[in-house]
Structure 1
Amino acid sequence: MPGAVRELLGLDGENRVFDTVLMGRRTWELGRDTGAPDPYPRLRSYVFSRSITQSPVPTVNFVSGDPLEKVRELKQEDGLGIWLCGGGVLAETLWPEIDRLVVKVNPVVIGAGIKLFHSDEFALRKLRLAGHHVYESGVAVLTYRKE
């Protein structure tokens, strides 16, 4: 959850699942443009960008190199999980390193949306449902693992 939302809801507990968040530049810019240049201050943040090579925010790490190489490096470190937050282009690039896919389905449709995986080619990707939870609000969280 973004830091501002955590504060509004009075959530101050430690993250138990993730300690690192990955974003593409456009996803990061959405936060920046709404006043949150470090939208996840409790997590180590990495933004992948070919156009911004120096971080304009000291608490956010910008990576201009190979995303797969960086993620493989991060996965070798001790710590909690790595969360890929938005960015169909980045998700497509990182597909070989994605261990599980968590899809949140909301009972509200806003705009046209972003592709989950942005590719110009049709790719069949088999996943297996590993868990699910439906909240009273109608939000469904589906967890899949690669087959």
Structure 2
Amino acid sequence: MRKLILHIAISLDGKIARLNGDVDWLDAIPHKEGVDYGFYEMYNSIDTTIQGNKTYQKVLSWDVPFPYKDKENYVFTTNSELKNNEDVSFIAKDHIQFVKDLKQKNGKDIWLIGGGQINALLLKANLIDELQIFIMPIVIPEGIPLFGELSYDQQFELSATESYESGVVGLVYKPRA
């Protein structure tokens, strides 16, 4: 079965973006050339991405070519009027069942890009198999939390850590059985 991997950067206070969705704060983190915080390895281990529509719209606002053209891309939304395009397929209903079915298909792993609402939805459904979280040495006063709203505790087991000269700390967690 394919794994659903959440590979994401967060601030020290657990934010994935500013309230308007901007991730400009990531540019403030010192970045040693050649250090990608495991992104290249993760990206090569997947053939599919899932993201929320707000995240997708933010990616489009960057005024760069769509960055995941070499992958199968799904955008979760509640707007059934959105039409698929050459880069993404919009999924407007049965999100949980869609992910369950997707994980059963042959292929590489699946990258859950975010944002906070979809992260919480899939976490509540116990569909996230691995959390690859990179804590950036910055505090954002107001922002979008990693997991939106959760109504109960969920525990994880730490399976790996790595610290970087930049002050970034990488943590890999798996759900506790």
TM-score by length of 2: 0.68
1:36–1:50 Cα change, 3 Å: farther
Which residue matches 2:97? 69
1:77–1:31 Cα change, 3 Å: same
Which residue matches 1:46? 74
Per-residue deviation, 1:93: 1.3
Per-residue deviation, 1:33: 1.4
Which residue matches 1:89? 117
Which residue matches 1:108? 138
Letter in 2 for 1:70: F
1:112–1:57 Cα change, 3 Å: farther
Aligned counterparts of 1:137 and 1:57: Cα–Cα separation in 2: 38
SS in 1 for 2:101: helix
Which residue matches 2:167? 138
Deviations along 1:83-141, one digit per CA (max 9) or x if unpaired, are: 111211111111121111111111234452311112263x1111110111112222211
Matched-pair contact (CA < 8 Å) for 2:120–2:150: no
1:88–1:29 Cα change, 3 Å: same
1:105–1:68 Cα change, 3 Å: same
SS in 2 for 1:65: coil
Matched-pair contact (CA < 8 Å) for 1:28–1:37: no
- The counterpart of 2:154, out of the listed 125, 132, 137, is 125
Q: Structure 1 unaligned segments of length 5 or more: list them.
A: 2-8
Per-residue deviation, 1:71: 0.7
Q: How does 1:14-53 map to 2 (within 5 A)?
A: 15-36=43-64, 38-51=66-79, 53=81
SS in 2 for 1:55: coil
Aligned counterparts of 2:65 and 2:85: Cα–Cα separation in 1: 7
Matched-pair contact (CA < 8 Å) for 2:156–2:173: yes
User: How many positions carry a matched residue from both structures?
Assistant: 137
Matched-pair contact (CA < 8 Å) for 1:20–1:83: yes
1:136–1:55 Cα change, 3 Å: farther
Deviations along 1:32-64, one digit per CA (max 9) or x if unpaired, are: 112247332222111001125433632211111
1:113–1:55 Cα change, 3 Å: same
Q: Identity of aligned pairs, percent?
A: 32
1:111–1:27 Cα change, 3 Å: farther
